[in-house]
Amino acid sequence: MATQAAEPLVEADAQVLAETIRVSVPERGIRHDLRAVSIVWRRELIRFRTDKLRAVTSLIQPVLFLFVLGTGLSSLAGRAMPPGVDFKTFIYPGVLAMAVLFTAIFSAASIVWDREFGFLREMLVAPVSRGAIVIGKCLGGATVATFQGVLLLIMAGLAHVPYSPLMLLTLVGELLLLSFTLTAFGVMMAARIKQIQAFMALTQMLVMPLFFLSGALYPLNALPAWLSVLTRLDPLTYMVDPMRHAVFGSLNISPAAVHALSPGVTWAGWQVPLGLSLGIVAAMGALMLAIAIAQFQKTE
């Protein structure tokens, strides 16, 4: 049967062939999958580039938190700060995480749009692995979100954070990891939720608790027991802490002040190493990516 349908090019068509463009679609392989990852990723970038409004609007919220809330609260919270440390500097890493949080999850929402406008089908009927499409989506969301984070990094000076190259490099790496994990989380949800309204409502509902429980706006020590437990359950905590560590490592202040403001995450008194924190975020990202791929494997 296969032989029958594998109809050869006809010699007699030579005349036609002279002006022919021969296309043969090769067998699926790793290079093909990588090409698919790359184009899905690039599409996210193209769409982000053409949607300037989105880039601006998703910056508004973090900027409000950093400069309006940060300035407004400094008169109050400033008294608790060690001398020479601005309250804005303290919340800066948390606001970075927040910028990435919104952008990453909303870029995952594009899957829901794609489903609504039919484009998802174009991707799902292609002879590529679903994994390639999901990974491309997550990388695209991660890149776009990290770019938003970088825009905030440019404003670091306004929050009295020095432009130390090592710190900036560390933060960009951490932003990438965080935004990939968050996009994977968004994509995992988008696999299940078919209506954009439902997706937006659900993510809004999840995003705010994630942010408030992450220690983005307060230090993690000396909390009441209930809040202490909740903060340790929030995956975002394990990303805000390394970012704060990077920021405070670059400040020229006493070790005691660093310890007071960036105490690190503890589990029942045990100091969680930074590597483990980052590992937790990476593991969550990998897990959610795997779930997302498995879910897209099942649809149509």
Partner 1 sequence: MSVHIDAESGPDGTAPAAAGRDRPLGSRGDGHAAIVVSGLTKRYGDIEAVRGIAFEVMTGETFGFLGPNGAGKSTTIKILCTLAEPTSGAARVAGHDVASERDAVRRNIGLVFQDPTLDGYLTATQNLRFHADLYAVPRAVLQPRMRQVLEMVGLWERRDSLVSTYSGGMKRRLEIARGLLHAPRVLFLDEPTVGLDPQTRASIWEYINDLKRREDITIFLTTHYMDEAENCDRIAIIDHGEIVAIDTPEALKASVGKDRVQISTADDQAAIAELAATFGIEAAVHEGAVTFSVESGEQFVPRLFAGLATAIRSVSVSRPSLDDVFMSYTGRTIRDAEVTAMDHNRNMAAVFRRR
Under the binding rule (CB under 8 A), the answer on residue 160 touching partner 1 is: no
What φ, ψ does residue 267 adopt, rounded to 5°? -110, 110
Under the binding rule (CB under 8 A), the answer on residue 21 touching partner 1 is: yes
What's 19's DSSP letter? T
Under the binding rule (CB under 8 A), the answer on residue 118 touching partner 1 is: yes
- How far is the C-alpha of 115 from the C-alpha of 237, rounded, in Å? 32
Q: Smallest distance, Å, CB 143 to partner 1?
A: 17
Q: Smallest distance, Å, CB 15 to partner 1?
A: 8
Under the binding rule (CB under 8 A), the answer on residue 134 touching partner 1 is: no
- Which tokens hold the place of 113? 């749009």
Q: Smallest distance, Å, CB 58 to partner 1?
A: 17
Under the binding rule (CB under 8 A), the answer on residue 298 touching partner 1 is: no
x-marked contacts with partner 1 along 204-243 as a string, rule CB under 8 A: ----------------------------------------
Under the binding rule (CB under 8 A), the answer on residue 76 touching partner 1 is: no
Under the binding rule (CB under 8 A), the answer on residue 252 touching partner 1 is: no
Stretch that binds partner 1, among 40-48, 57-65, 201-209, 221-229 (CB under 8 A): 40-48
Say if CB 182 and CB 104 are below 8 A apart: yes
Q: Which one among 52, 79, 122, 270 touches partner 1, defined by CB under 8 A?
A: 122
- Which tokens hold the place of 42? 């690039």
Under the binding rule (CB under 8 A), the answer on residue 23 touching partner 1 is: yes
- How far is the C-alpha of 2 from the C-alpha of 24, rounded, in Å? 16
- Which tokens hold the place of 142? 């991660």
- How far is the C-alpha of 43 from the C-alpha of 246, rounded, in Å? 32
- How far is the C-alpha of 244 from the C-alpha of 159, rounded, in Å? 13
What is the rounded end-to-end Cα distance, in angstroms, of the chain?
A: 26
- How far is the C-alpha of 256 from the C-alpha of 261, rounded, in Å? 9
- Which tokens hold the place of 155? 């404003």
Under the binding rule (CB under 8 A), the answer on residue 286 touching partner 1 is: no
Task: List the beta bridge partners of residue 270.
Answer: 267
Q: Which one among 64, 80, 126, 208 touches partner 1, defined by CB under 8 A?
A: 126
Can you give the binding site for partner 1, defined by CB under 8 A?
1-13, 15-17, 19-28, 31-32, 35-36, 38-39, 43, 46-47, 50-51, 114, 117-119, 121-123, 125-128, 300
